[in-house]
Amino acid sequence: MMRSTVISQGVKITTRCEACGGVLILDTGQSIESGRLWWGTEGACKSCPVAWCEQDFGDATPEGIRQALLAEHGPARLRLKEPEASAVPVLRALREVHGLSLTQARALAGELKTTGLVGTYVEMELVASRLRHHSVGVTVETSSG
């Protein structure tokens, strides 16, 4: 049975509006929709008409969004349930998610088997879903539980 649940994580940031010096509210985050990693930012000033919305998808979320999520929610760690799992499905899944060469995928698989992969919760859930698709048992651990 396929689940259509959207996985997401966000953070609100208050900063200064460059246009008027007022309070600017940024609502930023990541989500997984239809098997893709999406990111977005909405900004609105409380004192002037400055407002925007930016959303995109792809392998690389802008670092400012990643860092805001990591600062607010802490990192998530993806681990194999069985570190001795067959390398073939692990390599296949990592290559599919990240578009890696075989050499790059092997290095990432080595990290996954030892210390685990670390990133935002949404990033780790995206990799976890691809690994699960290939029947590889994984867990995603967060500092909040």
Identity at 65, one-letter amino acid code: I
Q: For 89-137, write each residue's pLDDT tens digit.
A: 999 999 998 888 999 999 999 999 999 999 999 999 999 999 999 999 9
CA distances from 14 to 11, 68, 101, 107, 129 (A): 10, 12, 40, 39, 33
- Whole-structure pTM value: 0.86
pLDDT band of residue 5 (cuts 50, 70, 90) is low
Domain 76-142, classified CATH 3.30.1390.10, yes or no? yes
pLDDT of 42 over the 70 cut:
yes
The predicted pLDDT at position 144 comes to 60
Which SS3 state, helix, strand or coil, does residue 90 take? helix
Torsion, Cα 97 100 103 107, to 10 degrees, reads -50
Higher pLDDT, 1 or 71: 71
Q: For 52-86, write each residue's pLDDT tens digit.
A: 999 998 878 899 999 999 999 999 999 999 878 78
What are the residue boundaries of the structural domains of the chain, listed by start?
A: 7-73, 76-142
CA distances from 81 to 39, 116, 130 (A): 29, 11, 15
